């Protein structure tokens, strides 16, 4: 065998080896960081035809706090104008004397003005518009407590729309006596929450995760006070249905907060409600 042939054989062998080593290198650098585990789960989710936008890996801070629906709204309600109102328990239910027209594309702008007006909405400055919770028939403003939005009807204003897209009235709950029960603590990242939710079989195949947000959810009631904690809230849309179901993950422990049958809007004690 001449030298040239030996060189060619060696060249072929080494090129093959290079390709092999390169593949090996590429593969091993995938399983590198801690996030790799979550990435695998995310990949698994994609294989299950679950659609979602890429979750963030950032950790946040949140509080445990207690609050109640007390008499602040009742006191403030006396100075409200251009509406007829009544109380259902601690909830303020009001009907505008003239339905408010919402020009298309200016829903938020129009309602922001109303909410900011203390003669129309009590304590409106503490609420902010939530595009995530709002729907065609209802616009929701959430109260902001302890640096976060409250995704619970105990701290919300819900504007009801009629078929002509006019605001006919609203119902409001206000959280007062807010007390931080513990200093700020770190939450898990959105990615971890999402992967856990999936691993607890809360996201069926083919579902769509429309949005997610870190928001406060009521965990329990003790000594007459509601106790809230930060949760990752995911809006899951099951392929066969047109409604979103809100799934909540305890942002400290990663546990899925179960609040009964997720599809019932009339679940009196439930934080889970559906929006269409």
Partner 1 sequence: MKLRQLWLPAGLVTAILVSLGLSGMLWTNPAHSNLSSRTKVTKNTDSSNNTTFQDIYLPAQIVSTSKTGQQEMLTNNRINVASELRDKMSRFTATDVQEISEHNSKKYLAQLRQKDTVLLNYNSAMTVNFFRKAFGNQLKIPNQRFNRVQLPLNDPDHLYLLNDQTLHVVKVKLKNNHAGKLRHVLSDQMVKHPVSFMMLNGKPVLSYANSVKLKAYSYQLTQQTQSYYANRIMTTNSNSSMQIKHHKNSTTYDDHGFRHMSVNKTTDAVTFTNYNSQVKSSSFVNTMNHIYQQLVMVGMPLDGMRFFDYDTGSDTAVFRTYVGGLPVYDDRGYGAIQMKVLDQTSYQMTFSLDSLQVPIPPVQSTATVVSTKTLMTELKNAGVRHDKIEDIQLGYEWTRDKTLEKAVNLSPTWFIKVDGHWRTYQQYLS
Which of 58, 86, 101, 179 binds partner 1 (CB under 8 A)? It is 179
**Residue 98 to residue 78: CA distance in whole angstroms:** 19
Select the span of 113-121, 127-135, 215-223, 261-269 touching partner 1 (CB under 8 A).
215-223
- Write the DSSP string, 198-263: HHTT-S-TT-EEEEEEEEEEEEEEETTEEEEEEEEEEEEE-TT-S-EEEEEEETTT--EE--S-TT
Judged by CB under 8 A, which stretch of 21-29, 75-83, 91-99, 112-120 contacts partner 1? 21-29
Cα–Cα dist 1/75, whole Å: 103
Q: CB of residue 209 vs partner 1: minimum separation in angstroms?
A: 18
The binder of partner 1 chosen from 79, 183, 201, 268 (CB under 8 A): 183
Q: How many chain residues interact with partner 1 (CB under 8 A)?
A: 51
- Does residue 240 bind partner 1 (CB under 8 A)? no
Cβ atoms of 229 and 216 within 8 Å: the answer is yes
Rounded CA-CA distance 247/204 in Å is 12
Helices (runs of H) and strands (runs of E) counted in the chain: 5, 16
**Closest to partner 1 by CB, 116 or 181:** 181
- Nearest distance in Å: CB 153, partner 1: 20
Q: By C-beta, is 68 or 233 nearer to partner 1?
A: 68
In the complex, least distance from residue 176 CB atom to partner 1, rounded to whole angstroms:
13
Q: Is 205 in the site for partner 1 (CB under 8 A)?
A: no
Footprint (CB under 8 A) of partner 1, residues 36-75: 36-38, 40-41, 63-64, 66
DSSP state of 55: P
The per-residue DSSP string of 206-219 comes to: T-EEEEEEEEEEEE
DSSP 30: T
* 68/133 with CB nearer partner 1: 68
Q: Which contiguous run of DSSP H or E holds residue 140?
A: strand 138-145
Note whether 118 binds partner 1 by CB under 8 A. Answer: no
Neighbour-count burial of 20, counting CB atoms closer than 10 A to its CB (0-12 exposed, 13-18 middle, 19+ buried): exposed
**Residue ranges binding partner 1 (CB under 8 A):** 4, 7-8, 10-11, 14-15, 17-18, 21-22, 24-25, 28-29, 31-32, 34, 36-38, 40-41, 63-64, 66, 179-186, 188, 192, 195-196, 199, 219-220, 222-225, 227, 229, 252-255
């Amino acid at each position: 065998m001449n030298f040239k042939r030996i060189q060619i054989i060696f060249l072929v062998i080494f090129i093959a080896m290079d390709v092999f080593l390169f593949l090996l290198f590429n593969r091993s650098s995938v399983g590198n960081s801690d996030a790799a585990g979550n990435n695998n789960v995310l990949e698994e989710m994609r294989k299950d035809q679950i659609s979602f936008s890429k979750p963030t890996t950032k950790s946040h801070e949140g509080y445990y706090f207690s609050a109640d629906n007390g008499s602040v709204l009742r006191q403030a309600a006396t100075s409200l104008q251009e509406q007829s109102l009544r109380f259902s328990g601690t909830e303020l239910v009001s009907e505008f004397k003239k339905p408010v027209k919402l020009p298309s594309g200016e829903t938020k702008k129009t309602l922001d003005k109303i909410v900011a007006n203390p003669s129309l909405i009590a304590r409106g400055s503490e609420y902010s518009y939530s595009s995530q919770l709002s729907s065609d028939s209802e616009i929701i403003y959430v109260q902001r407590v302890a640096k976060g939005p409250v995704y619970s009807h105990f701290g919300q204003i819900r504007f009801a729309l009629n078929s002509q897209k006019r605001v006919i009235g609203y119902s409001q709950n206000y959280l007062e006596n807010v007390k931080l029960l513990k200093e700020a603590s770190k939450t898990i990242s959105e990615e971890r929450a999402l992967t856990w939710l999936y691993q607890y079989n809360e996201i069926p195949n083919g579902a769509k995760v429309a949005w997610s947000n870190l928001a406060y959810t009521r965990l329990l009631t003790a000594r007459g006070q509601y106790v809230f904690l930060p949760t990752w809230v995911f809006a899951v849309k099951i392929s066969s249905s047109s409604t979103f179901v809100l799934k909540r993950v305890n942002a400290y422990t990663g546990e899925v907060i179960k609040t009964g049958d997720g599809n019932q809007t009339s679940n009196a004690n439930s934080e889970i409600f559906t929006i269409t």
